[in-house]
Amino acid sequence: MPDPLAANPKAADPVALICEVRHTDDLRFDPMHHYTHGHGRAVLRAHRNRSAANSCAHLLPLLQPGLSLLDIGCGEGWITRDLARLVAPGQVVGVDLSAKVIHLAQAGGDIPDNLTFLVADVYDLPFDAATFDVTHLHQVLHHVDDPVGAIRAARRVTKPGGLVSDREGDYGAVTWYPPSRGWEVWQKVYLAVGYNLGNDPRVALRLGEVAAAAGLVDIVQQSSLWTYPGFATAADYAESWAERMTDPDFFPLIRAAGVATKGELAMAAAELRRWGQRPDAFFAFPHGELLARVPD
Ligand SMILES: C[S@@+](CC[C@H](N)C(=O)[O-])C[C@H]1O[C@@H](n2cnc3c(N)ncnc32)[C@H](O)[C@@H]1O
């Protein structure tokens, strides 16, 4: 099996790679290179709940020891660590556009020997064509302005016959109980900010269309839910979004989308926190899942 890192001589030295990457978190409000949620405390805390079992169950039956795997937009790499253990001794690489989050991933400990983290843009992956057996993305396509281009890039670095996998939340289909003005404002804000950046916060619905446009075959679309309580407590989930919605770094994007004032956001955040304290609070977040093959 070819070494996935051999294609890029700088891959052995992630710091060198970080230095040449176009994006840094200082550019986070460049609409062409923006990760909507940023990597603040609330985001990182929420991502730490994620595991291969709770975030890519659709992919797990197809994994086996020895497969090489690329996780694009890996964030701090909690899912990636699990995937690396499942395919060891296969080589696994987690890449993310954010140098900050890759530093955190590298410093986060408990990194299996077969896993490397690198800074890289999905549109400019530093790997030869046909390098990996499996390429996976989790919650990345709804943050980019060209999902077909992103899956095409995943296809390029995946071997003929290899697997491309993705999972995205559908921000348009979330539901909650009891009724909450806080969640209503939150949903309006997140949909508007996403669309205003040229992203599709509902790309989860059309993963099959995206995969076909990117030239993949044997396309399978599935779905799954994250529910609260369950994935996390309703209180933690509400708190996480209340913090993100009132993060001063996020406000320029909300202002650009023209959907809410700072006062409305503060009221919505307070209402979300009250909602999260209710014993009957329930939130469901549907996800679209994709499995597809690179043509032989
Ligand atoms: C919602 S987070 C998901 C992180 C991880 N996959 C998980 O599920 O915990 C989306 C990640 O995609 C990264 N991202 C956004 N645009 C990207 C791009 N063009 N290339 C690579 N990564 C990108 C962001 O920096 C962010 O860490």
Largest CA distance in the chain: 57
Q: Digits of tens for pLDDT over the chain (296 positions)?
A: 344 334 333 333 332 232 222 233 433 334 334 566 667 777 777 788 899 999 999 999 999 999 999 999 999 999 999 999 999 999 999 999 999 999 999 999 999 999 999 999 999 999 999 999 999 999 999 999 999 999 999 999 999 999 999 999 999 999 999 999 999 999 999 999 999 999 999 999 999 999 999 999 999 999 999 999 999 999 999 999 999 999 998 999 999 999 999 999 999 999 999 999 999 999 999 999 999 999 99
User: Taking the complete model, does pTM exceed 0.85, yes or no?
Assistant: yes
SS3 141: helix
Nearest atom in ligand 1 to the alpha carbon of residue 98 is 25
* Rounded (10°) angle between helices 234-245 and 181-196: 50
**What tens digit of pLDDT does each residue of 194-251 get?**
999 999 999 999 999 999 999 999 999 999 999 999 999 999 999 999 999 999 989 9
Q: How far is the CA of 97 from the centre of ligand 1 (A)?
A: 7
Q: Cα separation of 75 and 279, whole Å?
A: 32
Q: How far is the CA of 271 from the centre of ligand 1 (A)?
A: 29
Are 144 and 172 within 8 A, CB to CB? Answer: no
52 lines ligand 1 (CB under 6 A): no
122 lines ligand 1 (CB under 6 A): yes
Other residues' Cβ atoms within 10 Å of the Cβ of residue 66: 12
What six digits make up the tokens of 64?
A: 């086996």
199 lines ligand 1 (CB under 6 A): no
Q: Name the helix (H) or strand (E) containing 99.
A: helix 99-107
Least Cα distance to 296 among 163, 148, 122, 136 occurs for 163
Domains by residue range for the chain, with CATH: 9-293 (3.40.50.150)
Which residue's CA is minimally distant from atom 15 of ligand 1?
A: 35
Which residue's CA is minimally distant from atom 17 of ligand 1?
A: 97
Other residues' Cβ atoms within 10 Å of the Cβ of residue 195: 13
47 lines ligand 1 (CB under 6 A): yes
**What tens digit of pLDDT does each residue of 94-123 get?**
999 999 999 999 999 999 999 999 999 999
SS3 224: strand
Ligand 1 pocket check: which of 78, 121, 140 to mutate, most ligand atoms within 8 Å of Cβ?
A: 140
Q: Is the peptide bond before 89 cis (omega within 30 degrees of 0)?
A: yes
Which residue's CA is minimally distant from atom 9 of ligand 1?
A: 47
Q: Going by DSSP bridges, is the β-strand pair 132-138/69-72 parallel, antiparallel, or unpaired?
A: parallel
Q: How far is CA 136 from CA 34, 90, 148, 165, 202, in A?
A: 20, 15, 14, 5, 19
Q: How far is the CA of 38 from the centre of ligand 1 (A)?
A: 10
Q: How far is the CA of 73 from the centre of ligand 1 (A)?
A: 3
43 lines ligand 1 (CB under 6 A): no
